[in-house]
Amino acid sequence: MTVTATSVGDADQLEPRSAPASRWTARLLRLVPAAAAALSGVLLYVSFPPRTLWWLALPAFAVFGWVLRGRSWKAALGLGYLFGLGFLLPLLVWTGVEVGPGPWLALVAIEAIFVALVGVGVSAVSKLPGWPVWAAAVWIAGEAARARAPFNGFPWGKIAFGQADGVFLPLAAVGGTPVLGFAVALCGFGLYEVVRLVVEGRRTRAVRRSAAAVALLSVAVPVVGALAARTLVSDKAEDGTVTVAVIQGNVPRAGLEFNAQRRAVLDYHARETERLAAEVKAGKVAKPDIVLWPENSSDIDPFVYEDAYAVIDKAVKAIDAPVSVGGVVERDGKLYNEQILWDPVKGPTDTYDKRQIQPFGEYLPLRSLIGAINDQWTSMVSQDFSRGSKPGVFDMDGAKVGLVTCYEAAFDWAVRSEVTDGAQMISVPSNNATFDRSEMTYQQLAMSRVRAVEHSRTVTVPVTSGVSAIIMPDGKITQKTGMFVADSLVQKVPLRSSETPATKLGILPEIALVLVAAGGLGWAIGAGVRGRRAGDA
Which member of 111, 406, 480, 510 is catalytic?
406
Which member of 193, 295, 362, 439 is catalytic?
295
406 is catalytic: yes
Residue type for 480, please?
K
* Length of the chain in terms of residues written: 537
The C-alpha atoms of residue 218 and residue 195 are separated, in whole angstroms, by: 12
The C-alpha atoms of residue 180 and residue 468 are separated, in whole angstroms, by: 25
The full DSSP string for 206-256 is ---HHHHHHHHHHHHHHHHHHHHHGGG-----SS-EEEEEEEE---SSSSG
| Residue in 179, 152, 43, 51 with CA at minimum distance from that of residue 446 | 51
The full DSSP string for 247-315 is EE---SSSSGGGGGGHHHHHHHHHHHHHHHHHHHHTTSSPPPSEEEPPTTTB-S-TTT-HHHHHHHHHH
Distances (CA, A) of 259 to 114, 266, 298, 300, 467: 34, 11, 10, 10, 19
Quote the Cα angle for 184-150-86, to 5°.
Answer: 45
Which member of 354, 400, 439, 454 is catalytic?
354
Q: Show which residues are catalytic.
A: 295, 354, 406
